[in-house]
Amino acid sequence: MKKLRLGLLAAVILGLIIVGYFGAVSLPLVGRHPHPEGSFIEPPSPGQLRTYFTIRAIVATVNAGLAIFLLMVYVGIYLKTRAKFTVGLIIFTITLLLYALTSNPLLVVLVTARPFAFNVFAGVSELFTTIALTILLYLSLE
């Protein structure tokens, strides 16, 4: 039964990867009015960028603080119970903390010379979300 679940999970993940790929590849076909350079994606104004990055920085900072607090709670529970499930929750929370840190524009500004360009942080934060969800799914199937 466990092998069947893992096989089904692998098939679903592979299917979602394929859907995501074709969605990303066909994205330029979606929309009504192309931008002058031929893209259907209109670049944001400087004011829109400032608002976006301000909101993102606030939310990511709050998320990092909540993850740190949650991590302290789970470590406390683990020290009392030594439960394997709690170890999984600790790893899950660390992964969420890493997501919050790598998705925070403030960290990107401190680490990179070009904070608003595409860089290593652009995709890494989403990878941490994938890892966290995989951990939570694994814990839920145990």
Q: Which DSSP letter does residue 83 get?
A: -
pLDDT value of residue 20: 79
Task: Please state the separation of Cα 59 from the chain's center in Å.
Answer: 13
Mean pLDDT per 10-residue segment, the chain (142 residues): 78 85 65 54 77 87 93 96 92 92 81 62 80 85 76
Asked if 105 and 56 touch (Cβ cutoff 8 Å), the reply is yes
